[in-house]
Amino acid sequence: MDEVVISRAITESYFKELTEAMDLDVAIVGAGPAGLTAAYYLARENAKVAIFERKLSIGGGIWGGGMMFNKIVVQDEGKEILDEFGISSFEYQKGYHIASSIEVASTLCSVAVKAGAKILNLISIEDVVIREAGRVSGLVLNWSPVHMAELHIDPLAIRCKVVIDATGHDCEICHLVTDKMDGKLRTQTGKVMGEKPMWTEVAERETIENTREVYPGLIVAGMSANAVFGSPRMGPIFGGMLLSGKKASKVAAGLLT
Ligand code: 48F
């Protein structure tokens, strides 16, 4: 075995994938449950889709379950998606299904990749590209270690038809649109309204309602949708995240046609 062949194999195949990701149908920011689910359904419909994830690990807030206890809860509607992906669960009490956060995170990652979605980890999105008619038409990326080391290094950019902000509580892409160019979101205030305190029942329902195009070319999904529209947080129940990801894939597919 030759070290240089190994090194070439890695760099050539990685940069081929990165180059292909420079022109996408859908670019998803954040590989949490919402982003991974959206990527799976889009890839299954043959959309050219990639997820950009800041961290080394894929799965966002799934791994830690509730307060580092690695179990998550889903409701009946969410369990249908767990079943579809072959993730085991058991009914703790009527309507409350328990699953291993380890199995959920690893399986969501696996099904998305096997369906054809590309996942580029260790890349942070630091800006959006806005061109014709104020439409989001691309993302600006940099290596996460560049940000961590506070190095002054210019980023690169990719082009895409649709962006899904699946960045969780921080809804970072929506903040970029409002803060950098005073873009008006389709919320009551035109701004990010901010997440409200925990109310699981309402939060789970509203996550799905809030999953929509919030700015031309930009869809919000998962916790980011609730943060943008001023809905509550829900805690370690994940059905809303899975269902929001699925809905985001449909909204994105609608924008592609
Ligand atoms: O936070 P996260 O899991 O978002 P989600 O899919 O799910 C929320 C739940 O985990 C939980 C909850 C309800 O169950 O309240 O919190 O909505 O995943 C978001 C991912 O986005 C990445 C971040 O590292 C995380 O893995 N991320 C955030 N900002 C950026 C980013 C960015 N600017 N560039 C790249 N990745």
182 pLDDT more than 90: no
Q: What is the pLDDT of residues 21-76, one digit of tens each?
A: 999 999 999 999 999 999 999 999 999 999 999 999 999 999 999 999 999 999 99
What is the structure's pLDDT at 131?
84
**Residue 106 belongs to a domain:** yes
Does residue 238 fall inside a structural domain? Answer: yes
- Please give the model's pTM, rounded to 2 decimal places: 0.98
User: Do the domain assignments include residue 37?
Assistant: yes
The finding on whether 27 has its CB within 6 A of some atom of ligand 1 is no
Q: For residue 32, report the distance from its CA to the centre of ligand 1, in Å.
A: 5
Distance 115 CA to ligand 1 centre (A): 21
Question: Does residue 125 belong to any structural domain of this protein?
Answer: yes
Instruction: Supply the pLDDT for residue 134.
Output: 85
What is the rounded distance in angstroms from the CA atom of residue 89 to the CA atom of residue 98?
Answer: 5
What pLDDT shows up at residue 178? 95
Express each pLDDT in 224-246 by its tens digit.
Answer: 999 999 999 999 999 999 999 99
With the most atoms of ligand 1 within 8 angstroms of its CB, the residue from 36, 54, 199, 226 to mutate is 54
**Does the CB atom of residue 234 touch ligand 1 within 6 A?**
yes
User: Has residue 8 got a pLDDT over 80?
Assistant: yes
Domain that holds residue 251: 23-63+101-256
Q: Which helix (H) or strand (E) holds 240?
A: helix 239-256
User: Is residue 160 in a domain?
Assistant: yes
Give the residue among 106, 151, 162, 101 at the shortest CA–CA distance from 124.
Answer: 151
Query: How much of the chain exceeds pLDDT 70, in percent?
Result: 100
Q: What is the pLDDT of residue 257?
A: 86
Would you mind telling me the total number of residues written for the chain in this entry? Answer: 257
> Within a domain: residue 8?
no
Domain count along the chain: 1
Secondary structure (H, E, C), 66-131: ECCECEEEECHHHHHHHHHCCCCCEEEECCEEEEEHHHHHHHHHHHHHHHCCEEEECEEEEEEEEC
Ligand 1 atom closest to the Cα of residue 225 is 17
Best of 36, 40, 53 for a ligand 1 pocket test (most atoms within 8 Å of beta carbon) = 53
Asked, for residue 95, whether it belongs to a domain, the answer is no
What average pLDDT does the chain have? 97
User: Does 29 contact ligand 1 (Cβ within 6 A)?
Assistant: yes
Residue 65 Cβ inside 6 Å of ligand 1? The answer reads no
Ligand 1 site-directed mutation target among 62, 136, 223, 237, most atoms within 8 Å of CB: 223
pLDDT of residue 132: 72
* CATH code of the domain containing 218: 3.50.50.60
Q: Which of 16-25, 47-56, 173-182 has the lowest mean pLDDT?
A: 173-182
User: Counting atoms of ligand 1 from 1, which one is nearest the CA of 236?
Assistant: 14
CB atoms within 10 A of CB 27: 28
* 119-170 pLDDT per residue, tens: 999 999 999 999 877 899 999 999 999 999 999 999 999 999 999 999 999 9
Residue whose tokens read 């943060």: 227
